[in-house]
Structure 1
Amino acid sequence: MALERRKYVGTFIHSTSLTDLEICEEATIGVDENGKIAYITRIGDEKSTSEDWELFQTTKLDGNKFFFPGFIDTHIHASQYPNAGVFGKSTLLDWLNTYTFPLESSFSDTAIASKVYSRVVARTLSQGTTTACYYATTHVPATNILADICLKRGQRAFVGRVCMDRMSPEYYRDESTESAIADTRSCISHIRSIDPSFDLISPIITPRFAPSCHRATLAALGALQKETNLPVQTHISENTSEIALVAELFPEADSYAHVYDTAGLLTPKTILAHAVHLSPAERQLIKSRDAKISHCPASNTAITSGRTKVRELLDEGLTLGLGTDVSGGHTSSMLSEAREALFVSRHVAMTDGDNAKLAVEEALYLATRGGAKVVGLESRIGGFEVGMDWDAQVVGLGDTVGTDEIDQREGLLEIFGKETWEEKVAKWVYTGDDRNTLAVWIKGRLVHKRSGFNI
């Protein structure tokens, strides 16, 4: 159904490069009936739009509010959402067996799947996440429910049925290579039936990680990718024990990355989560295949996997975005993940020097434009340009403080009135939360609005 044209007036902020944020005050963006940006007028621009636009509704911001692109979560396990914040003292492999596999296996019950998936989609939307790369479980009905919920709520999503036929409990694994491929095809067919052009919801081929799949299964998934040209998501080099396990299970491979490359799974449409301990040869291989990386700093810290040297990866020309990696990561908030990326970079800088530090501008780029490149949609989402989809959020920083009275509903972020816009953005990144997300649109459709905010 076509939308009504609408104008958005106020301050717009978005990344124009890794290091630069464009801040446009008193600007106007017109969004057409297809949810795409039709025009942008900045201060000083000559009016270039038809008078017809004057007839359409306007959302106008004032005070400490601004429009910002929607966040893009390049790695999140939707099925693990109930365990967010629960990881004990485990490292990766122990954590999977203790917490993750028992939870995921329960999604054979579609009532459980529906409840959890409805909640995680609602929560991520409320936090400004307009695009998410979701891992589901091995269950076909439950995976299809996740796709249905994303479509109904209007969230742009890549939905992957997890493939795994070894290194997991017998009660929770694929029976064979053939069943893994058949069930994956079933989920692809379902998504094609509800969104034939994959315009909003796309299937994504999802081998959990190399140790959880036999060689034949990895190769079959690689062949499926070549046949369908669908994106791929998996994990790589999250921690040293995992890397040692890969070397034991695949002794013929030169490296972890080589395992995927041999199977045909290292492609320009592949998203590799974590990539904490890549060797120089692996980084070069990944770059040569134009595969992408999802940096998950909160999870890497929580499960003590390691510190990704993001500056090194960026300097070598690799493409990165951010992922929350719920429930290895403790929160589904991409704003929080940007903050975690900043802090982890500072820990790296303590040993590698100040150049390792990320700036606020860089963290926000990774959460938007970088993520858009990771999911292959950089021409459609991640910023504000004519022809791009209106995937956007309104960020409200609250009124300028005037008394010593604290209103808990407004969160921790406080504006005192002398801050520049750059300083306000920094305060949002370091002290903000979902209470500052006032409204969210995807392809021009309003998908979330905080109570009390008038559109």
Structure 2
Amino acid sequence: MAAADDGRKAIFFGRFISAPGPESLLIRQGAVLVSSSNGHGVLEKTDWTLITPAAAFKAFGVEEQDVDFHQTMNNGFFFPGFIDTHIHASQYPNVGIFGKSTLLDWLTTYTFPLEASLGGKEPLADTNGAYEGNRGTEIVNYSTSNPLSKADAVYTKVIRRTLSYGTTTASYFATISVPATNLLADLAFKFGQRAYIGRVCMDHPDTCPTYYRDETPDQSLANAIASIEHIQKLDSKGELLAPIVTPRFAPSCQPETLSLLGQLATDRKLRVQTHISENIGELALVKHLFPQYESYTDVYHQAGLLTSRTILAHGIHLDDRELETIRTQGSKISHCPASNSALGSGFCPVRKLLDNGIDVSLGTDVSGGYSVSILDSVRQACLVSRQLGFVNGGDKKWNIGVTEGLWLATVGGAKCVGMEGRLGGFEPGMLFDVQEIDLSGENSPVDIFGWEKWDERIDKWVWNGDDRNVRNVWVGGRMVHSGK
């Protein structure tokens, strides 16, 4: 079937399932008409009374030969595309490689050397294969013929892999390299994934290795602007691809750098992404590096980085005053349960965040997280919430169920990336970012016996499903992945 991005309209017929609210699993049978007349695949009309394809053509007033048509399988359904609000594209080769590290050790041992290598250079290892970290190392060319060959391979793989898992939107951290960051933007735009691309800013001499940091705050700002302008040339409207200001986290940046980036985001009305309160050791480091500030949150607040367009990854160890500041500023939290468990960072109190009026979404945090699957993040969010309930005396109020997890992965994600009302559902006017799920395929890890109700089948999909259940994926009406 041709995609709906060639000027033609398309009808999608069958079962449509979404989670418009934390306790609302909406299961509907019918059809939607997708139009790309404005250059973007938008849901033009819906009809939930239709029971045959012929009725759909008639209801929408179109001739069969004039539209593309797609119908779900018997055990299939259309579901809104997943939104990953925190993923490090540059770390994809390290998924599952974190040993017994905690956050700060993991960064210097595994992360910084890998990220540096994607810019065409990498630190030399000592005789034991260990990188010298902050002691200052020599650097060598990774590839004399194409210095970005490694980045090309990594970024191509991670974009295709995330699409295959139904991730239609991703907020990506890249590296400090401007050319490598620009390449990530080029590839995301080429493959059709909705993406927010951030060139990582880090220049603090006490926490960043000499081989992998900006020399000055002004250089960090200039490099950020260079990538921003490249991205905006690719998509001037920012509809499919947009830049996002990305200070790695407070300890990696000098105070002046944070303030320059905050002003940049304000002046150009840009999104911001960074980390906050992920790890106890990190909190101590922030207090040591920024003794003049009231809290970790205050560091960002005083720099002008907390806005309604800001995504803060993790947010595990925030106190009540910090929560109030984040709520007042309208900033968002990306919950990354798999990464938090893998690195032993702690349990994010999602219920407390939501009860305090803070928008929450889900991130994979690859490669702190071991998988690019947001579906896995949904089940990990459910599991972590139960552990949090246990350590709070068995209080079930902390529990996140399947429906709420799916809501966080779609509607919650849309809120956090500034696309509320445009992504995450099947209402007229929404962009058609959708995955088609098939539970009965030959290689499906989900066993369906036929007597399960549809809400039970969704439960089975969340707990047992993976990319083998993803039949097709569309972004803005354009088919960007087919797993047939």
Q: Which ranges of structure 1 fall in alignment gaps of 5 or more residues?
A: 400-408
Contact 2:33 2:60 in 1 (8 A): no
Look up the SS of the partner of 2:21 in the other structure. Answer: coil
Match of 1:41 in 2: 47
Pick aligned residue for 1:10 from 8, 11, 14: 14
Match of 2:305 in 1: 265
AA partner of residue 384 (structure 1) = F
Find the aligned partners of 2:475 and 2:7 in 1 and give their Cα distance: 12
The reply to whether residue 150 of structure 1 matches residue 188 of structure 2 is yes
Instruction: Report how far residue 396 of structure 1 moved.
Output: 0.5
Contact 1:3 1:445 in 2 (8 A): no
Contact 1:397 1:428 in 2 (8 A): yes
Instruction: Report how far residue 44 of structure 1 moved.
Output: 6.9
| Identity, % of aligned positions | 49
Match of 1:217 in 2: 257
Written as runs of structure 1 = structure 2, the 5 A alignment for 1:31-430 is 31-33=34-36, 34-43=40-49, 49-52=59-62, 54=64, 55-109=66-120, 110-166=148-204, 167-352=207-392, 353-398=395-440, 410-430=443-463
AA partner of residue 35 (structure 2) = D
**Count of aligned positions:** 441
Find the aligned partners of 1:184 and 1:423 in 2 and give their Cα distance: 47
AA partner of residue 143 (structure 1) = T
Query: 1:141-163, CA deviations, whole angstroms, 9 ceiling, x for partnerless residues?
Result: 00000000000000000000000
Find the aligned partners of 1:370 and 1:200 in 2 and give their Cα distance: 19
Contact 2:31 2:50 in 1 (8 A): no
Instruction: Report how far residue 43 of structure 1 moved.
Output: 2.1
Instruction: Report how far residue 310 of structure 1 moved.
Output: 0.8
Cα gap change, 1:226 to 1:53, in 2 (>3 Å): farther
Contact 1:91 1:303 in 2 (8 A): yes
Match of 2:32 in 1: 29
AA partner of residue 282 (structure 1) = E
Find the aligned partners of 1:29 and 1:81 in 2 and give their Cα distance: 36
Find the aligned partners of 2:346 and 2:161 in 1 and give their Cα distance: 28
AA partner of residue 38 (structure 1) = E
Look up the SS of the partner of 1:68 in the other structure. Answer: strand
Find the aligned partners of 1:148 and 1:155 in 2 and give their Cα distance: 11
Contact 2:20 2:424 in 1 (8 A): no
Find the aligned partners of 2:188 and 2:369 in 1 and give their Cα distance: 21
Find the aligned partners of 1:176 and 1:49 in 2 and give their Cα distance: 62
The reply to whether residue 438 of structure 1 matches residue 471 of structure 2 is yes
Please identify runs of 4+ aligned residues in structure 1 that moved more than 3 A. 44-50
Contact 1:380 1:389 in 2 (8 A): yes
- Aligned residues: CA RMSD: 1.4
Find the aligned partners of 1:44 and 1:69 in 2 and give their Cα distance: 20
Q: What's the TM-score once normalised by structure 1's chain length?
A: 0.95
Match of 2:128 in 1: none
Look up the SS of the partner of 2:425 in the other structure. Answer: coil
Find the aligned partners of 1:209 and 1:62 in 2 and give their Cα distance: 45
AA partner of residue 336 (structure 2) = C
Instruction: Report how far residue 379 of structure 1 moved.
Output: 2.1
Find the aligned partners of 2:7 and 2:315 in 1 and give their Cα distance: 41
Look up the SS of the partner of 1:52 in the other structure. Answer: coil
Cα gap change, 1:152 to 1:193, in 2 (>3 Å): same
Find the aligned partners of 1:323 and 1:193 in 2 and give their Cα distance: 27
AA partner of residue 430 (structure 2) = M
AA partner of residue 391 (structure 1) = D
Find the aligned partners of 2:452 and 2:252 in 1 and give their Cα distance: 51
Contact 1:65 1:395 in 2 (8 A): yes
Contact 1:6 1:56 in 2 (8 A): yes
Instruction: Report how far residue 49 of structure 1 moved.
Output: 4.6
Match of 1:402 in 2: none
Query: 1:292-341, CA deviations, whole angstroms, 9 ceiling, x for partnerless residues?
Result: 00000000000000001111111111100000000000000111111110
Look up the SS of the partner of 1:170 in the other structure. Answer: coil
Find the aligned partners of 1:141 and 1:53 in 2 and give their Cα distance: 48
AA partner of residue 449 (structure 1) = S
Cα gap change, 1:53 to 1:39, in 2 (>3 Å): farther
Instruction: Report how far residue 355 of structure 1 moved.
Output: 1.1
Instruction: Report how far residue 62 of structure 1 moved.
Output: 2.9
